[in-house]
Amino acid sequence: MAFRAATQRALNMRHMMNVTRQPITLSSVRPQSTLNTGEIVEDPQIGNYPNLPRFSTQTRGPYGWDDPQDKRNFGETVHEEDELYGVWAPDLHHYSPVKAASQLALFAAVFASFAGIVYKFYPERPVVQRTYPYNGLSEEFGEREGDIRRRAARVGTHEDEE
């Protein structure tokens, strides 16, 4: 609940004007127009074009349309902001923040459990690493005195060499 109040406070227009100390005109800030609210927003710039309510076409049924891809009939008036309310607009989500956070936490717990199980039961190497005699064959690989990076194979101790 505190997260929701803090988010609403941060997105509040008056609060933003007080924080930024710059005049923000209300016409320059668009509300969340992808919401399926059904309200009619008065816009003086559209002229004689019909002012349609805010309904996303994603909420329409999949059958019974002349254009089933866009869920539209022939001759139907297109909303002025069709790119925000059409089928190809950002998806409408009906998840609460608590549900989204719990699903994220569940995924993290399952992933961490799987990683822990793999770490716990991952077998050791069934062989011993190969080692080379004569200081890792450094002379055979062309190592010189001033080399920064060593030119040799792994150097190990063999009990056989003693």
Paired tokens of 60 = 């329409």
Residues 87-114, mean pLDDT to the nearest whole number: 90
At residue 104, does pLDDT exceed 90? yes
- DSSP designation for 90: P
Q: Which residues contact 70 (CB under 8 A, 6 or more apart)?
A: 57, 86, 87
Q: What is the pLDDT of residue 154?
A: 65
pLDDT at 89: 83
Instruction: Identify the residue with better confidence: 75 or 157.
Output: 75
* pLDDT > 90? residue 144: no
Distance CA 87, CA 70 (A): 6
Cα–Cα distance, 76 to 80 (Å, whole number): 12
Comparing 112 with 151, which gets the higher pLDDT? 112
The per-residue pLDDT for 101 is: 95
Q: Report if pTM > 0.75.
A: no
Alpha-carbon distance of 57 to 60, in angstroms, equals 5
Q: Are 80 and 55 in contact (CB under 8 A)?
A: no
Q: Give the SS3 label for residue 58.
A: helix
Mean pLDDT of the chain: 77
128 token code pair: 């011993």
pLDDT for 160 beyond 50: no
Q: Say how many C-beta atoms besides its own lie within 10 A of residue 78's C-beta.
A: 14
pLDDT in tens, 7-39: 666 566 555 555 555 544 444 444 444 567 777
What's the whole-number mean pLDDT along residues 58-72?
90
